[in-house]
Amino acid sequence: MPGNNTVELTVTDDSGLSDATTISFHVCGSFSGLDSCALAKGDLIFVRNSKLVTFFGDTFYSHVGTYSGNGNVIDSTFPAGVSERPFEEFIGDTETWAVGRVAGIDTSQFLASIRNRLGAPYGTENLLEYGAETDIRDREDLGIYCSQLPWLAGQEQSVDLDGGTNPKYEFVTPTEVIDASAVHVVQQSGSRHPRATFIRAESPVDLLIIDSEGRRSGWDPVTGIALQEIPGAIYVGPTGLLGPENFSVLASDEVYTVIANGNGTGPFTIRVTDSDLGSSQHVSVSETAYPGSNHVYMITNADGGPSFQSSIQVVLGLTEIIHALPDSAFRQAWHRNLFLNRLSFIENQILLERWSGAEIRLQSLRNLVDGCDNAGGAPDSNDWVVDCGAQTALRNGIDAALGQIPN
């Protein structure tokens, strides 16, 4: 019964010998799909209800509270700080949530530890004052943020509630709490949480991300405006609260082309975090930028986590395929060397950022391996490669390289 989960019962004494007594009690039920009747004291409730927190924390879940019983949750928010409030107020209308139960603790002691911190101020300013790379998880004098609260209570029983899945920041995020080995998920929204991909560029570059349909999100250096065309993708930039960084968040498993446009001279790093329930994986790439430079990558998300491929890497992959093919895969034996020579030229064009020349020659190569893709399903007279399986592998690689050429 959302909106009203507390019942007040007033008992009166008709004899007049005692005053009327009002008793309030909690009625459990389903709120945003979460069964509050199945909650136990000490359960951790994780919600995804703040895009801002997910940007700056590389965290799938943006908030966490502790169920304290009788329909209440203790959490830390701004500006209230650590407080206790009704469960239905905490859960709100969020559609993405999970409930974790902590193993190996004394629940009464765990809750008592959290209750002892009621009234403590919220701790956002500690991140801004000390920086995200300073370990201040045990600095209660700086205030307490939401996921720090159960972490502190766990520390008092030698139970580490920091899953350690974020290599960049020295604060504990809600996702790192649910990733901790002591936390076991007992309820969650849906059968599986959608994958969230966080892409961060550390200066001096601006990011532009393109999906498989050509929609863009990020900074367009041509028009000088921020684009928000990809559904489910959010771009914040070019400067974030925690430093000169750009942020994008995607919620999909597809392949993305990422263009890092140089806005200054110096080294840059692009970090990708693939966050899912119980799993956060990270990859990064570092290069040197200069004003006007373009660095193009393809980011692929799979069950094994995210992976980077640059245009050069794709071309090198095509070269490896050509080297591995038997002579019988080519119409003429010398077509192998012709193919390798053209790939070498394309590689040089990419290194010189001559994108138009690279695109024209990639498309020309594709026309030499497309016969099996036609209605007849057999090589045509101008194909250099006559093995249909090899043609498919080469076409896929060429299409991947073409997809990374900036417009």
Both 95 and 169 in one domain: the answer is: yes
**252: in domain:** yes
pTM as predicted: 0.54
Phi, psi (5° rounding) for residue 287? -145, -175
Question: Do 331 and 384 touch, CB atoms closer than 8 A?
Answer: yes
Burial 342-364 (b: 16+ CB within 10 A, else e): bbeebbebbeeeebeebbeebee
pLDDT score of 74 = 97
Say if residue 194 is preceded by a cis peptide, omega within 30 of 0.
Answer: no
Helix (H, G, I), strand (E, B) or coil at 82: strand
Both 287 and 233 in one domain: the answer is: yes
pLDDT score of 117 = 95
Q: Which domain holds residue 294?
A: 196-303
pLDDT score of 192 = 43
pLDDT score of 33 = 82
**14: in domain:** no
Q: What is the DSSP string of 309-345?
A: EEHHHHHHHHHHHHHHS-GGGBSSTTHHHHHHHHHHH
* CATH number for position 201: 2.60.60
Helix (H, G, I), strand (E, B) or coil at 98: strand
**19: in domain:** no
* CATH number for position 167: 3.90.1720.10
Both 213 and 280 in one domain: the answer is: yes
**2: in domain:** no
pLDDT score of 223 = 83
Q: Tell which of 303, 328, 343 closes a domain.
A: 303
**268: in domain:** yes
Q: Tell which of 158, 188, 218 closes a domain.
A: 188
Both 93 and 154 in one domain: the answer is: yes
Q: Please state, in angstroms and rounded to a whole number, the distance separating the CA atoms of residues 37 and 199.
A: 38
pLDDT score of 81 = 92
Phi, psi (5° rounding) for residue 222? -75, -50
pLDDT score of 10 = 55
Q: Please state, in angstroms and rounded to a whole number, the distance separating the CA atoms of residues 280 and 294.
A: 28
pLDDT score of 161 = 92
Residue in 64, 63, 304 with CA at minimum distance from that of residue 195: 304
Lookup: tokens for 326: 């038997």
pLDDT score of 65 = 97
Helix (H, G, I), strand (E, B) or coil at 201: strand
Both 224 and 289 in one domain: the answer is: yes
Q: Please state, in angstroms and rounded to a whole number, the distance separating the CA atoms of residues 45 and 174.
A: 10
Residue in 326, 395, 315 with CA at minimum distance from that of residue 335: 326
Ranges of the chain with pLDDT below 70:
1-27, 50-59, 124-136, 164-170, 190-196, 212, 232, 234, 236-255, 274-282, 300-313, 351, 353, 375, 407
In sequence order, the 6+-apart residues with CB closer than 8 A to the CB of 326 are none
Both 232 and 176 in one domain: the answer is: no
Helix (H, G, I), strand (E, B) or coil at 126: helix
Both 48 and 124 in one domain: the answer is: yes
Question: Do 196 and 249 touch, CB atoms closer than 8 A?
Answer: yes
In sequence order, the 6+-apart residues with CB closer than 8 A to the CB of 292 are 261, 262
pLDDT score of 119 = 94
Both 97 and 217 in one domain: the answer is: no
